[in-house]
Structure 1
Amino acid sequence: MTVAALSTYIDPRSEAFRRNLADFDERRRSVAEARGAALAGGDERSHRRHAERGKLTARQRLALLLDPGSAFLEVGQLAAHEVYEQPVPSAALVTGIGVVAGRLVMVFANDATVKGGSYFPLGVQKQLRAQEIARQNGLPCIYLVDSGGVYLPLQAEIFPGPNTLGTIFRNIAEMSALGLTQIAAVMGSCTAGGAYIPTMCDETVIVRGNGTVFLGGPQLVKAATGEVVDAETLGGADLHTRVSAVADHYALDDEHALALVREIVARNPGPRLAEPPREPSPPKYDPAELAGIVSAGLREPIPAREILARLLDGSELAEYRARYGTTLVCGTGHIGGYPVGVLINDGVLFSESALKAANFIELCVQRDIPLLFLHNINGFMVGAQYEAEGIAKHGAKLVNAVATARVPKFSLVVGGSFGAGNFAMCGRPLGPTLMAMWPSAKSTVVGAEQTATVMALLRAEQLAKQGLELSAEEEESIRRPIIEAYDEQSRPVYFAARLWVDAVIDPVDTRSWLTLALAMAATSPRQDTQFGVFRM
């Protein structure tokens, strides 16, 4: 079915469109500021010292490593933004999915201009997230190592618990055992526990003069044994390629090291970027209009089909049960020539829409079609009538289907995403392959206004038991801080900084982002789905 312009279409000349666009541009600017800080990396002094050592920056290294002109899907670009007392752009680590020698790979590049490339807690979590994506999608991994190791003041958050630093090494070992090639290039410091990254990889390159690998650096050696030794003698490229065999290949400089890595990738197995099964075609409607279509106020509806008309190839959707459960639109289409099953909210979730979606997911799993969830949801309908009709068990069927479907699942918050509605639409706890937000999106367990109202009502009930009334001033003192905190914590940059989503993407870039994601999905290992028990 062709998705046509509907009566809810917002005319670009209308006041509503201009208001939406102005609101969106403001939110877009806040994302752009955070992105600018991430792309810049460390301060000017750090960059200057880095260059004086003959070293390329993390992003310069990636530009030489990746195939010229190929797409790069960055994961966790805004990680650690304004989280720590000191700036740690991108958590001192650049990660993402790219193409090297025609093969899809996951790359990890320490940014030594940021705190010497030290691992902060979010840097560890970012590396673990990227490794998780690589494992799920059968991607080889390339580690461009240049790190001072653990940021010691926060070691308690990095070292001892589960899913911390040691899990990085476990993942390397397990992925190597699965046949997913693990490659390292030591381009700077690699010390203490970090030394296990290159030594556990299948093949390792080390750069003359700058690359060093040792379990204990010169200062630690002197403190522990009294021995005085310089870094190059202790763990440099000559030692490790000629004497210890800690590394396999000797590189003259960064450029040479990256060329060697490309050669290693070329002669090892790995998935090639899959051609789309049908010729891609642009939407009939301009994706640039999306910023004006997305409502400035979350209480205003966002016309679901207008979103799809600007994302899907040819603006075409084969809609599933169009007349049933109408508050959730389901159907199949293509993006960039790749097939996709789409679920997008067009109102609150009722039992009928939950049942329709669960059934649609079953069909996509049976046909091996990836799923795309587009969130704009307050949650499930509440009230005595709906509880009596079993909305809880019908919603649980949808959550069950989302959680257990073993096809690639991509999750994008375009409007609001609240409470159980977030879970039903494949929020982060439900295991999406990749998840992103638009700059205008928001997500919390409950809306700010609802939370503030509930807390004020609770206080009023407490006072009523004492024969007192809640004054307007006291009610405002309860409501204001809740609304302000929720507003800050619901924003995309806040989510991305804590790795609750993998990216914040602009509507005009969404098709490109999804095209590369679906291309990756086309090569990912197939898995059998076993649904849980659906309560009937």
Structure 2
Amino acid sequence: MAVLRSALDTATDDYRANRAVQLDLLERVAEQHAIAIAGGGAKYQQRHRDRGRLPVRERIELLLDPDSPFLELSALAAWGTAFTVGATVVTGIGVVSDVECMVIAHDPTVRGGAMNPYSLKKTLRALEIARVNRLPVVNLVESGGADLPTQADLFVPAGRIFHELTGLSAAGVPTVALVFGNSTAGGAYVPGMCDYAVLVDKQAKVFLGGPPLVKMATGEDADDEALGGADMHSRVSGLSDHFAVDERDAIRIGREILTRINWRKLGPAPRALPEEPTYDPDEILGIVSTDTKVPFDPREVLARTVDGSEFDEYKPLYGTSLVTGWAQIHGYPVGVLANHRGVLFSEEAKKATEFILLANQTDTPLVFLQNTTGYMVGTSYEQGGIVKDGAKMINAVANSTVPHLTINMASSFGAGNYGMSGRAYDPRLMFAWPGAKLAVMGATQLAGVMSIVGRASASSQGKPFDEDADAARTAAIEEQIEAESQAMFVSGRLYDDGIVDPRDTRTVLGMSLSATHSNTVEGRRGFGVFRM
């Protein structure tokens, strides 16, 4: 393959300004991540330790193989809402006894680990990722069940958790529950539906109804241990497969379980000892302009992301607003689609369609690097068939069966989000850079459209147009859309799987590719490559 040659000048004022903005954005993300790590705060963290219990992230650290990475997902879930950042649960992909697993761990320092609507979304997304990528699941359970004031938003959709767990088991994907504390009401079905259940002595409480509910329902006076303790479930009910004397013992048993599942990946192995990029990934911070309207060359990003900075570009002289080509990332072959100058014209749509078909014929995963304002509008473009050409691209994305990985680098607006494999098109994993924006269109454009519509409506009704009210309304709409398109707002609502440091793009993509290769990597068959 050809080696990409960088034209980036790190000594320019623009580069330094871009870098400074990215570092500031990363600092803001880090501040919010620190809030998520703190959970319920110092008081409740200390109370948890005083009870002889480990914080959730220490449990995860002991569970994972020493010095192995952990790809945390949806770390800023619930950001900007009334709920705690992180949504009372930690999810992510890590290696346990040499097996890549999905880890789902409750944080009991936040309202006892109770599940709110964002906890539910985050848990269901983690289970979906486990299902489509064929990842064994390890649940670290300590939750008081549903956050009752929000039960109207929880009860019906929460049943999907059990549906996903049983579906994984039916597909031969192991599920493990390590129960450190409360697992009550509907939550009792998590260890009940997992393939393996480990309960911690004097801590685990697994029951459909605790003592207060039993008293109210039946009049019986019962205690926690008799109703759902580890000893009872190990000796009497049979719910527990393993009796753990303490938390570290439970984690040890969980790791041993993963050594016995005889797990094999179904996808091809990566090439051994891949070359690092020729250029420093740290330089990515200065590539993206401080003004999202100013385009940047995604080849500069690829030169700092793909193995050996090697990139075999496909149709480089055609549809130049979209860069397509073949590369490897941590030894895994990939096809790349990366927006260059933002707008997708008919040529770019047709080029992308052919490229996606080729990737499916060769069973090659696709990486989408988004920076798009959408498909081009205007009379000549509509007459030229932009709708049908854009539809072909979206059709190809929707029906592609090779793994898709998507990163929003700067902007993802309109149907361009769909054509570049946005969340609605089921990428296996999707991340955003801290300055990325996601919306139906830019804030200025959207507010302007609303103003034009209002002006036309007043004219058609023969009414005077209130310029002052329009200006105030336009400013309010711009402010709203600008806020709602920001990366933390978007990630807080789980429209992606997390915000990543641009410098870590290669690592994140490598871990994601490794996870997707736990399942088969196979493209759609039944049609040839057609030209349009």
Partners of 1:246 and 1:320 in 2: CA distance:
56
2:353 aligned with 1:358 = yes
Q: In the TM superposition, what is the alpha-carbon distance from 1:13 to its structure 2 partner?
A: 2.2
Residue correspondence of structure 1 range 466-485 to structure 2 within 5 A: 470=465, 472-485=467-480
Q: In the TM superposition, what is the alpha-carbon distance from 1:89 to its structure 2 partner?
A: 3.0
2:372 aligned with 1:373 = no
**What is aligned with 2:40?**
42
Alignment length (residue pairs): 528
Name the amino acid aligned to 1:127: T
SS at match of 2:489: helix
SS at match of 2:344: coil
Among candidates 165, 182, 187, match of residue 194 of structure 1: 187
2:498 aligned with 1:503 = yes
CA change 1:475–1:26 in 2 (3 A) is: farther
Partners of 2:66 and 2:346 in 1: CA distance:
49
Cα deviation 1:59-82 (Å, max 9, x = unaligned):
110000000111111111111123
Among candidates 61, 66, 69, match of residue 67 of structure 2: 69
Q: In the TM superposition, what is the alpha-carbon distance from 1:408 to its structure 2 partner?
A: 0.8
Among candidates 397, 403, 406, match of residue 402 of structure 1: 397
SS at match of 1:264: helix
Name the amino acid aligned to 1:383: G
Among candidates 113, 120, 140, match of residue 117 of structure 1: 113
Partners of 1:101 and 1:352 in 2: CA distance:
48
SS at match of 1:139: coil
**What is aligned with 1:436?**
431
**What is aligned with 2:214?**
221
CA change 1:532–1:158 in 2 (3 A) is: farther
Partners of 1:27 and 1:309 in 2: CA distance:
23
Partners of 1:71 and 1:208 in 2: CA distance:
30
CA change 1:525–1:274 in 2 (3 A) is: closer
Partners of 1:128 and 1:461 in 2: CA distance:
45
Q: In the TM superposition, what is the alpha-carbon distance from 1:366 to its structure 2 partner?
A: 1.1
**What is aligned with 1:286?**
280
**What is aligned with 2:52?**
54
Residue correspondence of structure 1 range 229-308 to structure 2 within 5 A: 229-271=222-264, 276-308=270-302
**What is aligned with 1:137?**
133
**What is aligned with 1:168?**
161
Q: In the TM superposition, what is the alpha-carbon distance from 1:279 to its structure 2 partner?
A: 2.4
Partners of 2:59 and 2:257 in 1: CA distance:
16
Partners of 1:530 and 1:367 in 2: CA distance:
10
SS at match of 1:435: strand
Cα deviation 1:203-224 (Å, max 9, x = unaligned):
1100001111000001111111
Cα deviation 1:351-405 (Å, max 9, x = unaligned):
1111111111111111111110000000111111111111111111111111111
CA change 1:530–1:311 in 2 (3 A) is: same
Q: In the TM superposition, what is the alpha-carbon distance from 1:300 to its structure 2 partner?
A: 0.5
Partners of 1:317 and 1:234 in 2: CA distance:
61
Q: In the TM superposition, what is the alpha-carbon distance from 1:324 to its structure 2 partner?
A: 0.8
Q: In the TM superposition, what is the alpha-carbon distance from 1:521 to its structure 2 partner?
A: 2.2
**What is aligned with 2:408?**
413
Q: In the TM superposition, what is the alpha-carbon distance from 1:194 to its structure 2 partner?
A: 0.5
Q: In the TM superposition, what is the alpha-carbon distance from 1:114 to its structure 2 partner?
A: 0.9
2:273 aligned with 1:312 = no
Partners of 2:514 and 2:139 in 1: CA distance:
22
Contact kept in structure 2, 1:92 and 1:114, CA below 8 Å: yes
Among candidates 159, 171, 181, match of residue 174 of structure 2: 181
Q: Which moved more, 1:303-312 or 1:248-257?
A: 303-312
Contact kept in structure 2, 1:404 and 1:530, CA below 8 Å: no
Partners of 2:268 and 2:61 in 1: CA distance:
22
Name the amino acid aligned to 1:340: V
Q: In the TM superposition, what is the alpha-carbon distance from 1:334 to its structure 2 partner?
A: 1.2
2:19 aligned with 1:2 = no
Contact kept in structure 1, 2:431 and 2:499, CA below 8 Å: yes
Partners of 1:289 and 1:471 in 2: CA distance:
49
Partners of 1:532 and 1:83 in 2: CA distance:
46
Contact kept in structure 2, 1:339 and 1:369, CA below 8 Å: yes
**What is aligned with 1:151?**
147
Partners of 2:112 and 2:52 in 1: CA distance:
15
Identity %, equivalent residues: 45
Partners of 2:124 and 2:110 in 1: CA distance:
19
Contact kept in structure 2, 1:332 and 1:342, CA below 8 Å: yes
Q: Given the two structures, how large is their TM-score scaled by the length of structure 2?
A: 0.96
Name the amino acid aligned to 1:289: E
Q: In the TM superposition, what is the alpha-carbon distance from 1:473 to its structure 2 partner?
A: 3.0
Name the amino acid aligned to 2:326: T
SS at match of 1:455: helix
SS at match of 1:523: coil
**What is aligned with 1:107?**
103
**What is aligned with 2:87?**
91
Name the amino acid aligned to 1:353: E
Q: Which moved more, 1:516-525 or 1:382-391?
A: 516-525
Contact kept in structure 2, 1:302 and 1:346, CA below 8 Å: yes
Partners of 1:159 and 1:270 in 2: CA distance:
34
2:507 aligned with 1:512 = yes
SS at match of 1:503: coil
Contact kept in structure 2, 1:317 and 1:333, CA below 8 Å: yes
Contact kept in structure 2, 1:434 and 1:502, CA below 8 Å: yes
Q: In the TM superposition, what is the alpha-carbon distance from 1:137 to its structure 2 partner?
A: 1.0
Name the amino acid aligned to 2:427: P
SS at match of 2:327: strand
Contact kept in structure 1, 2:176 and 2:194, CA below 8 Å: yes
Cα deviation 1:65-124 (Å, max 9, x = unaligned):
00011111111111112312xx42311111111111101111111110111011111111
SS at match of 1:91: coil
Q: In the TM superposition, what is the alpha-carbon distance from 1:523 to its structure 2 partner?
A: 2.7
CA change 1:297–1:353 in 2 (3 A) is: same
**Structure 2: runs of 5 or more not aligned:** none
Partners of 1:155 and 1:216 in 2: CA distance:
16
Partners of 2:302 and 2:154 in 1: CA distance:
42
How large is the Cα RMSD of the aligned pairs?
1.8
Partners of 2:516 and 2:184 in 1: CA distance:
36
Partners of 1:270 and 1:126 in 2: CA distance:
26
Partners of 1:209 and 1:123 in 2: CA distance:
26
2:17 aligned with 1:24 = no
Contact kept in structure 2, 1:3 and 1:317, CA below 8 Å: yes
Partners of 2:397 and 2:291 in 1: CA distance:
28
Q: In the TM superposition, what is the alpha-carbon distance from 1:25 to its structure 2 partner?
A: 2.4
Name the amino acid aligned to 2:192: T
Q: Which moved more, 1:424-433 or 1:301-310?
A: 301-310
CA change 1:532–1:43 in 2 (3 A) is: farther
Partners of 1:249 and 1:47 in 2: CA distance:
27
